[in-house]
A and B are shown apart, each in its own frame.
Chain A
Amino acid sequence: MPMQQEGAAVVRGWGRCLLLQCRVAFHGMFVRRFSRLMQGLVLGLLGFLPPVSHAHDVLGNLNAVGSDTMAELMLRWGERLEQSHPGVRLQLQASGSASAPAALIAGTTLLGPMSRQMLPRERASFTERYGYPPTAITAGKDALLVVVNRHNPIESLSLRQLDAIFSDNRQCGGEEAIEQWQQLGQDEPPGRIHLYGRNRVSGTHAMFRRIALCGGYFRNKVNVFPGSAAVVSAVGSDPLGIGYAGLNHLTADVHVVAIGEPGQAVVPSRQTLRNNQYPMARHLLIYANLPPGGSLPPTEQAFLDLVLSPSGQEIVEELGFVTLSIPQLNLQRRQLGLPELGSKDDVR
């Protein structure tokens, strides 16, 4: 019967196929085992050799998990490092500052960029896990800006007014909630204030809450966005909008509000940030998992060397953040066991 024959052929064909697969799999396993053995041998032998030059070890993936505000900065530093050390590849996961401590504690990364200080709770669980506290490296300075639409004439806001605008429970002691632009003593724009802000993972959110809301709660009315750029673009297209974002997300559609009591309000600038006049300044931090007395792997070390060098600080400047002075840089470099910079490498 032709049908039967066909069926038998199919069955036999499958059988043969299966056998072949098995053989291939066994073969693959054997070869892989063998090559791993060889690899181990070679590596073991290499271990006895004296370490070669430092630059040769700067290789492989460089992982970093953390702040969204610092994402572009990290990427640019990564690019610069890849130029000088072609074997390096930066893998950045920038979902918000709160993700950095989690990743550092879990051990998935050694570097966690954060746009706020670690909370005592986060620091404690790191110390509990490793037996030593994380090392904080300041890489630059940033400011939290309050932005409004460019057609909005408002010049300055006090912290108390900000609290009355954004907060539900007014911890800073404002008299009444501010819901209309008219309550701020101006005719334009007519209507309610539309609030824009970040989601709770972000360091920007946490910092605004700590400084401007005195630790209070945001109103339910705040439109929540998962990125600072989205906040700025939303405020840019909404004449009634007000929002907060980091320094480097500014666009031409929004204008920055000076912060402080009328007459003493401070506009965020390089000057006011460096001498700590602006009330909502913050440090851009990179937390590192650095054992006391030990050192980071060469790739991480090279990255931080770049960050704390004049060329790394140039990138900080280019992206609109504020750079550190040479003594400040040297302070950080000493922590990491890096050679100090001379005064001739001055950064503007």
Chain B
Amino acid sequence: MPEPVPFSSLHRHRQRRDRLATALITAGGVGVLLAVLAIGIFLVTGVLPLFLSDNGPSLTALWQPQANVDGVVEYRWLPESLKGGGIPQVNLLPLVWGTLEAALWALVLAIPLALGAAAHSSLFMSPRLRHRIRPTLELMEAMPSVVLGFIAGLVLGPWVERHLAETFTVIAALPLGILLVAGLRRCLPGAIRHWLSLRWAALWLIPCLAGSVIVALWGASYWENLWFDGDLRAWIEIHLGLDVQARNALILGLAMGFAVMPGIYALAEDALSDVPKELCEGAQAMGATRWQTLTKVMLPVALPGIFSAVMIGAGRAVGETMIVLMASGNTALMSANPLDGLRSLASSIAIELPEAVMGSSHYRLLLLAALALFIFTFVVNTLAEVVRSRLRQRLVRQRSMR
């Protein structure tokens, strides 16, 4: 039996502990800030000699197109040219372009899916199902991106290249299939409709979607034969003059979309669930349908959160390395064709840094690429934070005015 301790001593203990904890937390925060600052300073000091020295590539070479022996004027990323003499042809634009293009395609896939899923699961889905699905999606986010890149590069890429028509048909068929099922459900008698409740739509839609995929795969060769002489790829290459590569931006977008989606979903779902219950209930009590509740009440309130979810997804897509490295073919091209390859800043750094000699202009160029990435993610994250707080303030003001 320990003897009782006088109150004051314990109090002092707690106070001391509090002070210690505060000091530790402050130190941690300041440390993180200093680390970020130090990274920025390291990159800047590493890059500066590139522009100060005479024999390095000039500033214009980094941003302007150059002609090759055939007189073809292009933006080129040829780091070999740094050592070979002659005018170095190292243009960062193809890499910046590739980074943004990859992120764009990933977001085109991820945003509608993630936001749709978030809206459905926060408003329609049965809580039991929701509690199962969320951890599954979080598991998906935890999947190493190497695995996704591996699947995209070695399995999905060659398959899509050989079955281009099937791919496009499946992509079109999935939303159309859902619409069709929704239309059919309205015509069904009440008992079955009750059984196929919206709350469990996520489960009974799976066989429907599988069915539409099968129909799409079966129908694809039919219209491919009818309109494109049985080979869509050759048709695109010959008639449209576009390149169709096995590792292309579209496949990359698919793989990276899957990587980015769970994050956006989780944040957007949180934002939608944080909307006060009384608002939704009030709206529904006034006779609003669930769709109206979603678009008119919940979305405006949750907008700041959803916006920052999308921005954080964009930041992840820009910085993603392994998926791009494995699924894109790493061709530093500037083409808007989604069936062409690309090369991102991050994957360039990963590929080329092992052989860049420390202190060489190639090394400094890669540091410049890193700096560009750093600035980009910094700007995106700051923008997300600023817009979010602005929107939130506006919301609070509106609410207080009512």
- CB within 8 Å for A233 and B154 given contacts A168-B68, A170-B69, A223-B331: yes
B234 at the interface (CB under 8 A from A): yes
B226 at the interface (CB under 8 A from A): no
- CB within 8 Å for A7 and B13 given contacts A192-B243, A200-B351, A224-B330: yes
CA distance A217 to B246 in the complex (A): 23
Give min CB distance, B170 to chain A, whole Å.
Answer: 20
Tell whether, in the assembled complex, residue A1 and residue B4 are in contact, meaning their CB atoms are under 8 Å apart. yes
Of the candidates A169, A190, A224, the one whose C-beta lies within 8 Å of that of B329 is: A224
Contacts of A192 in B (CB 8 A): 237, 243
CA distance A234 to B154 in the complex (A): 8
Tell whether, in the assembled complex, residue B5 and residue A5 are in contact, meaning their CB atoms are under 8 Å apart. yes
Give min CB distance, A249 to chain B, whole Å.
Answer: 15
Tell whether, in the assembled complex, residue A9 and residue B331 are in contact, meaning their CB atoms are under 8 Å apart. no
Tell whether, in the assembled complex, residue A4 and residue B68 are in contact, meaning their CB atoms are under 8 Å apart. no
Contacts of B154 in A (CB 8 A): 230, 233
A17 at the interface (CB under 8 A from B): no
Tell whether, in the assembled complex, residue B80 and residue A218 are in contact, meaning their CB atoms are under 8 Å apart. yes
Tell whether, in the assembled complex, residue A234 and residue B2 are in contact, meaning their CB atoms are under 8 Å apart. no
Tell whether, in the assembled complex, residue A238 and residue B161 are in contact, meaning their CB atoms are under 8 Å apart. yes
Tell whether, in the assembled complex, residue B331 and residue A224 are in contact, meaning their CB atoms are under 8 Å apart. yes
Q: Which residue of B lies closest to A190 (CB)?
A: B234
Number of A positions contacting B (CB below 8 A): 41
CA distance A201 to B69 in the complex (A): 26
CA distance A54 to B245 in the complex (A): 57
CA distance A194 to B355 in the complex (A): 26
CA distance A114 to B238 in the complex (A): 43
B94 at the interface (CB under 8 A from A): yes
Q: Mark A303-340, 1 if CB is under 8 A from B, else 0.
A: 00000000000000000000000000000000000000
Of the candidates B238, B325, B355, the one whose C-beta lies within 8 Å of that of A200 is: B355
CA distance A168 to B78 in the complex (A): 9
Binding-face segment, A31-39, A82-90, A92-100: A92-100
CA distance A222 to B7 in the complex (A): 76
B284 at the interface (CB under 8 A from A): no
Q: Mark A1-37, 1 if CB is under 8 A from B, else 0.
A: 1001101110110000000000000000000000000
Tell whether, in the assembled complex, residue B332 and residue A8 are in contact, meaning their CB atoms are under 8 Å apart. no
Give min CB distance, B387 to chain A, whole Å.
Answer: 36
Contacts of A4 in B (CB 8 A): 4-5, 7, 10
Contacts of A224 in B (CB 8 A): 329-331, 343, 351
Contacts of B80 in A (CB 8 A): 200, 209, 217-218
- CB within 8 Å for A220 and B332 given contacts A9-B2, A98-B355, A194-B246: yes
B105 at the interface (CB under 8 A from A): no
CA distance A220 to B75 in the complex (A): 10
Tell whether, in the assembled complex, residue B329 and residue A223 are in contact, meaning their CB atoms are under 8 Å apart. yes
Tell whether, in the assembled complex, residue B69 and residue A96 are in contact, meaning their CB atoms are under 8 Å apart. no
CA distance A201 to B354 in the complex (A): 7
B389 at the interface (CB under 8 A from A): no
CA distance A192 to B354 in the complex (A): 32
Contacting B at CB under 8 A, from A179-198, are 190-192, 194
Tell whether, in the assembled complex, residue A190 and residue B238 are in contact, meaning their CB atoms are under 8 Å apart. yes
Q: Mark A164-178, 1 if CB is under 8 A from B, else 0.
A: 000011100000110
- CB within 8 Å for A220 and B13 given contacts A98-B355, A191-B237: no
A151 at the interface (CB under 8 A from B): no
Tell whether, in the assembled complex, residue A7 and residue B341 are in contact, meaning their CB atoms are under 8 Å apart. no
CA distance A223 to B234 in the complex (A): 20
Of the candidates A8, A190, A215, the one whose C-beta lies within 8 Å of that of B84 is: A215
- CB within 8 Å for A223 and B237 given contacts A8-B10, A98-B355, A215-B84: no
- What would 7 A/B residue contacts be, using CB atoms closer than 8 Å? A7-B13, A12-B2, A190-B237, A194-B245, A201-B351, A218-B80, A237-B161
Q: Which residues of B contact A (CB under 8 A)?
A: 2, 4-5, 7, 10, 13-14, 68-70, 74, 76-81, 84, 89, 94, 154, 158, 161-162, 233-234, 237-238, 243, 245-247, 325, 329-333, 341, 343, 351-352, 354-355
Known interface pairs A191-B234, A200-B351, A224-B329; 4 further A-B residue pairs with C-beta atoms within 8 A, sorted by A's residue number: A5-B2, A190-B234, A191-B238, A238-B158
